[in-house]
């Protein structure tokens, strides 16, 4: 079992959505210091002020698509002697259109935020965790990291890569530094506005942000290797493993209508090219 008591927690994309809710939850669980990174300065300031009534909170305006921003924020934290015990790579973006409608900038932005940023941020803080023989890295991937879906091909690619890297990192650490834990999170759609307008089948309902945040926090406390939601997401690896691809397409696409879930996608207008879960 892991505990948040007395720990320093860093959450990216922590000014709103499940990032903000998780911040509140870790403070409720006795975290000594909550650090939030976000690009939206106004939301960042409001969240830091709101959560400061529960405990110590520091905020940094960071564009996680920028390696320079990441390294500058990490260096500033080092100057302040802030050593991260739990890193939650939560910030994420989605464009939500057919692949041919993506601009080169869309593709690079999605991959930088969803895939490269968690790697770069982890590289900044993992050495501290290994040195002090303790820590936890939480990577918020997606069910899209396990199953393809129309109108989100680049998002799928970014989350597929994130999930593969996260699982590989977990195995590496289990061999060399088992005291540092890794949890990969693969939720389906969460009702935070990031995927506004999507339609889902009853077997895979949209998850509320409160439920998602609580399940993630409990998963970290129990050192879960993976946290999936809703329950139907647990079926994906099994179904893909035993069914011929066309059968899987028929079940997921025609019966469960997964391949039509983005047809009515609206999302929310990105602020400064930053959208959070």
How many CA atoms within 13 Å lie on the side-chain side of 32? 10
**Residue 259 is among the residues annotated as catalytic for this protein:** no
Q: 3-state class of 225 per DSSP?
A: coil
CB 181 within 8 A of CB 122: no
CB 135 within 8 A of CB 88: no
Say if strands 135-140 and 180-187 run parallel, antiparallel, or are unpaired: parallel
Q: Provide DSSP, 111-159.
A: HIIIIIHHHHHHHHHHHHHHHHT-EEEEEE--GGGTS--TT-HHHHHHH
Catalytic residue among 155, 189, 234, 259: 155
CB 82 within 8 A of CB 35: yes
Tokens standing for residue 25 = 């939850």
Query: Catalytic residues, which ones?
Result: 155
């Amino acid at each position: 079992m892991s505990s948040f008591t007395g720990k320093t927690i860093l959450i990216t994309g922590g000014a709103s959505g499940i990032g903000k809710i998780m911040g509140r939850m870790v403070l409720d669980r006795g975290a000594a210091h909550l650090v939030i990174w976000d690009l939206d300065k106004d939301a960042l300031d409001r969240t830091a002020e709101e959560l400061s009534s529960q405990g110590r909170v520091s905020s940094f305006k960071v564009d996680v698509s920028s390696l320079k921003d990441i390294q500058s924020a990490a260096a500033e934290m080092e100057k302040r002697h802030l050593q991260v015990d739990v890193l939650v790579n939560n910030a994420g973006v989605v464009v939500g259109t057919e692949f041919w409608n993506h601009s080169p900038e869309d593709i690079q932005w999605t991959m930088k935020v969803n895939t490269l940023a968690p790697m770069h941020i982890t590289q900044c803080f993992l050495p501290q965790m290994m040195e002090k023989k303790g820590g936890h890295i939480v990577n918020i991937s997606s069910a899209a990291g396990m199953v393809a879906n129309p109108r989100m091909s680049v998002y799928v690619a970014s989350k597929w890569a994130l999930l593969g890297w996260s699982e590989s990192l977990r195995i590496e650490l289990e061999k060399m530094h088992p005291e540092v834990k890794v949890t990969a999170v693969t939720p389906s759609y969460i009702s935070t506005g990031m995927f506004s307008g999507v339609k889902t089948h009853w077997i895979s309902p949209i998850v509320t942000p409160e439920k998602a945040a609580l399940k993630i926090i409990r998963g970290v406390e129990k050192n879960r290797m993976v946290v999936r939601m809703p329950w139907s997401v647990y079926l994906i690896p099994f179904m893909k493993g035993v069914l011929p691809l066309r059968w899987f397409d028929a079940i997921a696409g025609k019966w469960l209508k997964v391949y039509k879930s983005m047809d009515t996608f609206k999302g929310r207008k990105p602020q400064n090219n930053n959208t959070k879960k």
